[in-house]
Structure 1
Amino acid sequence: MVLKNALARVNFALRNGTLRSIVEQDIHRNITFAATLRHLDTKFGELLRKRTPIIASTKVKCLGEESLNRPVVSEFRERVKERFRPHPSSRIIILLPCSARKPYSMSRSHIMFRNAIRKAGSSIFSMLSELIVTSPLSLVPRELENIHPARFYDIPVAGSWSEKEIEITSNLLSNVLSRYQEDSIIINHLHGSGYEDIIERVREKSSVEVIDTSYKAPPTSHQSLQELSEALVNTKERFSLNQTEKVISNTKKIQAIADFQYGPETGKRIFHGKIKLKGRYPRSPQIFRDDKHIATMHASTGYLSLFPAYTEEISKISLNKLDFGADYVSGSNIYAPGCLKADTHILPEDEIFVLYENDVIATARALVSGEDMNKMTSGKVAEIKKKKR
């Protein structure tokens, strides 16, 4: 009966995508489990990362330092490092703490931060970039707070950071900050010993000016919020209006999600001109460009689906292509014998572009990783979403 219940628990977790969560829960009760997971992450972490979906809607319950090696967490950090590109108009960078409620912008603390930012004037948002410093994801740009796993993770807050967390987070933060323009200014609105250690290491690696606004008191205190507003007012005066490009926040958000999902520079390539969203949560917003419906943002995951007719604009630079052996896909599935070559960045559940001689003929949902697509000789590798008419 015990074995039957254990197997039922595992099967349920497999169906719901929560197996890693129950494994991390169990290792705190068994030393052997902990050693096994540590060995698995060390020896096979890269293999698991390339075969674990990042497009999902399951809760990511992180219990301890072992969550730093969780495949979906590692993949998120890697994509932020390799694919996140700050908008050229972003000249003021605000570092903010995370919150228990997700997405962060719905939390009480971040609403207070946003109100303090507004006191600097509406024009500040065009030159602003908000980065949330957290663990185990390390860094979440505001534009990516609604996607998985950023919107779905949860971790017990103890107020302390381990050396490994500090090292990983400071390295990623330094890498991301290096992508901003040299005359950008960092406003550090973090408070606490762990955050201080992270910022100290960032200062050592970067020559960008850092202004502390929450050094003496917690970030949500009246004093810190007042210092934040004043710092923004003073900083804004350093940049003239012609130095920054006015851009709507929704456009920056969609472009960042596209870069994260399809590859660097794809966002600005397809989401340009007049971008408008129609529909609100819990419905999935429809995205229009110059009054033409080009994509959908799924409320359940935060990710995008593009119409095949518009994927041609980014297919050459995207990292989710599958070269097919015919100019038409019959039926609703793609099988291994018809696949010529797949991008190795493809993960299960990713939206992929099916190409024939460099022309997109359909979009599909990957069932296996790109590496496995290149190795398989039989079996189903993807399901068709939309065919190009």
Structure 2
Amino acid sequence: RFHPARDYDIPVTGDWSRDEAAIVAEDLSAFVETNRYDAVVAHLGAEAPIVHDVLPDAVLSTKDHPTSEDSLVALTRTLDQVAGSVRSVSKGARFAEEMSNIARFQLGDAGLDLVEGATFRGRFPDVRVLRGGEQVAMHTTRGMLSLTLAGGDILSKRDAYWIEIEDFLPVGNIFAVGVRDAAHEIRPGDEVAVRHEGEVRAVGAARLGWREMKDLRRGEAVHVRHGLERPP
């Protein structure tokens, strides 16, 4: 689960230690390596030098204090100038990029395969993800993608977030005793594809990490959302 910023208890004093500055610089460097921006506007106070060291081309818009009248006027002017110098992006393309970012954040590179060539239906946060007219996932108010069996098949073929079970059709939640193996990236809460010898038989949310699934003989391993129906 991803908590909103208001749920974090982080006191902000404006005084940055060297260790704190180094952490911010390292994280920011990693972020811009995997995310492309045509321009960066930094409207900051004490943090501005830290950001400027990492992004020397960033436009600093603060005059004194970030919320002062002069600074806010400067921010408005800066945004107008920067926005006028870059090409506009359609609403649909921007939304598709946002959904791709969610998928990649949640499922890594396999998440990009999940949404590649997809269309999106609904109003955020309730959005259906479809490929070739078939729903592969659903984005909901919990802020993550929930898999369908078709989506689980995509992840399984990508060899990501899979759980190998004994030869049975799940009729409810899956317990650790029935798990043979699991992908090492799985953590509690992750969306997973449950398979047997390549056939995806269920999808759901992991209740245990991959090692616990393999080592334990008791306990719920997967909370199943969708499963293959039994033949008549």
TM range (shorter): 0.7 to 0.9
- Other-structure match for 1:233: 84
Q: Say whether the 8 Å CA contact 1:276–1:288 is kept in structure 2.
A: yes
Measured against aligned partners, the alpha-carbon deviations of 1:85-136 in whole angstroms (never above 9, x if no partner) come to: xxxxxxxxxxxxxxxxxxxxxxxxxxxxxxxxxxxxxxxxxxxxxxxxxxxx
Residue 224 in 1 paired to residue 224 in 2?
A: no
Residue 161 in 1 paired to residue 11 in 2?
A: no
Give secondary structure in 2 for the equivalent of 1:171.
Answer: helix
TM-score (norm 2): 0.80
- Match for residue 182 of structure 2 among 342, 353, 359: 342
Which amino acid is the alignment partner of residue 109 of structure 2? P
Residue 187 in 1 paired to residue 31 in 2?
A: no
- Other-structure match for 1:253: 98
Give secondary structure in 1 for the equivalent of 2:14.
Answer: coil
User: Aligned equivalents of 1:323 and 1:213: distance in 2?
Assistant: 52
Change (3 A) 1:349 1:198: same
- Match for residue 120 of structure 2 among 240, 261, 276: 276
Compute the RMSD of aligned alpha carbons: 2.9
User: Aligned equivalents of 1:336 and 1:190: distance in 2?
Assistant: 50
Give secondary structure in 2 for the equivalent of 1:167.
Answer: helix
User: Aligned equivalents of 2:92 and 2:116: distance in 1?
Assistant: 10
Which amino acid is the alignment partner of residue 76 of structure 2? L
Q: Say whether the 8 Å CA contact 1:323–1:340 is kept in structure 2.
A: yes
- Other-structure match for 1:312: 153
Measured against aligned partners, the alpha-carbon deviations of 1:180-230 in whole angstroms (never above 9, x if no partner) come to: 56xx64423232122322431x14xxxxx6131414252760112201221
- Other-structure match for 1:62: none
User: Aligned equivalents of 1:275 and 1:307: distance in 2?
Assistant: 15
- Match for residue 323 of structure 1 among 132, 140, 164: 164
Which amino acid is the alignment partner of residue 277 of structure 1? R
User: Aligned equivalents of 1:341 and 1:222: distance in 2?
Assistant: 58
Change (3 A) 1:280 1:266: closer
Residue 298 in 1 paired to residue 152 in 2?
A: no
- Other-structure match for 2:58: 211
Measure how far apart 1:370 and its partner are.
1.2
User: Aligned equivalents of 1:318 and 1:173: distance in 2?
Assistant: 30
User: Aligned equivalents of 1:198 and 1:159: distance in 2?
Assistant: 14
Give secondary structure in 1 for the equivalent of 2:34.
Answer: coil
Q: Say whether the 8 Å CA contact 1:307–1:386 is kept in structure 2.
A: yes
Measure how far apart 1:266 and its partner are.
2.1
Give secondary structure in 1 for the equivalent of 2:40.
Answer: strand
- Other-structure match for 1:384: 224
Q: Say whether the 8 Å CA contact 2:153–2:193 is kept in structure 1.
A: no
Measure how far apart 1:340 and its partner are.
1.4
Q: Say whether the 8 Å CA contact 1:266–1:318 is kept in structure 2.
A: no
Which amino acid is the alignment partner of residue 121 of structure 2? L
Which amino acid is the alignment partner of residue 114 of structure 2? I
Measure how far apart 1:274 and its partner are.
5.4
Which amino acid is the alignment partner of residue 28 of structure 2? L
Q: Say whether the 8 Å CA contact 1:336–1:381 is kept in structure 2.
A: yes
Which amino acid is the alignment partner of residue 223 of structure 1? A
Change (3 A) 1:178 1:186: same
TM-score (norm 1): 0.51
Change (3 A) 1:347 1:153: same
Change (3 A) 1:255 1:280: closer
Change (3 A) 1:324 1:379: same
- Other-structure match for 1:355: 195
Q: Say whether the 8 Å CA contact 2:166–2:178 is kept in structure 1.
A: yes
Measure how far apart 1:290 and its partner are.
5.4
User: Aligned equivalents of 2:60 and 2:185: distance in 1?
Assistant: 40
Q: Say whether the 8 Å CA contact 2:129–2:137 is kept in structure 1.
A: yes
Measured against aligned partners, the alpha-carbon deviations of 1:151-179 in whole angstroms (never above 9, x if no partner) come to: 55334443333333321121011122223
Q: Say whether the 8 Å CA contact 1:263–1:317 is kept in structure 2.
A: no
Q: How many residues align?
A: 224
Greater RCO (Cα-Cα under 8 Å, separation 6 or more)? 1
Change (3 A) 1:388 1:251: farther
